[in-house]
Structures are given as C-alpha cells and as structure tokens.
Amino acid sequence: MRQASGEIFVDTTGPGLVEITATVRRWIEAQRVTTGLVSLLCRHTSASLIIQENAADAVREDIVRWLGWVAPDDAPFAHDEEGPDDMPAHIKAMLTGVTLSIPVLNGVPALGTWQGLFLVEHRHAGQRRRIALHLMGE
C-alpha cells in the first residue's frame, strides 16, 4: 500500500462552483496509483467541496441561488467581522461540507458519467483556496 499527499490551489471570482475534476485527476495520475481512495479537504471555513452534475450550467446556478435562500446575506447574524457574507459563507460550507472521499479505479476517480468535483466559493470576493489531498492505494 502506497500513500501520497499534496495540495492544489483554486482561484475563485466570487460565489459559484469551480470544477476541479481535471486537476484532481492529473494529481492522481502523477502518483501512479491505480486502485485506492483519494480524500480531499478544503482548508477553509467559507468554501466547500461537492460532487455534482458537471454538464448543465443551470445546476450550478440553482445551487448557488438555493444556498443564498438558506443563508441570506441580509440575515441578522452576530458574526459579521468580514462583512455581511461572512456568517452566511460559514453556514453554506457547513451544509455542503469540506471533505470528499472518492474511490480510485484504473487510476482515475470513480465518478459517474455526469459527476464532477467542485470547490464551492461562498464569499463575494475572489479568493485563493487550498485543498489538501491524500491518496492511499496500489
């Protein structure tokens, strides 16, 4: 059993989903592991990771819209040191999660036909996000 760990960086431009499937796939391929498990951790409390449809842009737009309804910027949150999108971003990250674990089969993530890996940015300003990766396998 081999292990590898690393980190990728994702630049965002504001709220939305940024697909990271190809970047993660390239990282896995570079490790030369054909069968195993890859784990991802978003190292932030105001962004998250999801597996979602990667074919229709409307899906991504609807997800961002729905998260805005669940945790609106104009809600009376006490925590607002970094602006009105601060606490809503934390709630959105809590709801969508900051970790993913995906089986690796034949050297690639075992995703379905329409599935992609996404970083979800919950803050209004663009950010540079860090995602830690860990791969175990053979």
In order of start, what are the domains of the chain with their CATH numbers?
2-137 (2.60.120.460)
**What does the pLDDT average to over 110-118?**
97
pLDDT average, residue stretch 86-103: 98
Report residue 128 as tokens: 């540079």
What pLDDT sits at residue 74? 94
For the entire predicted model, the pTM comes to 0.96
Identify the pLDDT of residue 42.
98
CA 136 to each of CA 1, 33, 75, 99, 132: distance values in angstroms, whole numbers, following the listed order: 7, 8, 42, 16, 14
Q: What is the mean pLDDT of residues 12-41?
A: 98
Q: Does 25 score more than 90 pLDDT?
A: yes
118 neighbors 51 (Cβ within 8 angstroms): yes
Degrees (nearest 5) of the Cα angle 47, 3, 49?
15
Mean of pLDDT values over 26-53: 98
**Angle between helices 86-96 and 57-70 in degrees, nearest 10:** 120
Mean predicted confidence (pLDDT) in 96-113: 98
Residue 80: pLDDT band by 50, 70, 90 thresholds? confident
Count CB-CB contacts under 10 A for residue 121: 27
Euclidean distance between CA atoms 100 and 4, whole angstroms:
16
Positive or negative torsion for Cα 77, 82, 83, 87: negative
Which stretches of the chain are assigned E, i.e. beta strand?
Answer: 2-11, 16-19, 35-42, 47-53, 99-105, 108-109, 115-121, 128-137
Q: What's the mean pLDDT when you consider all of the chain?
A: 97
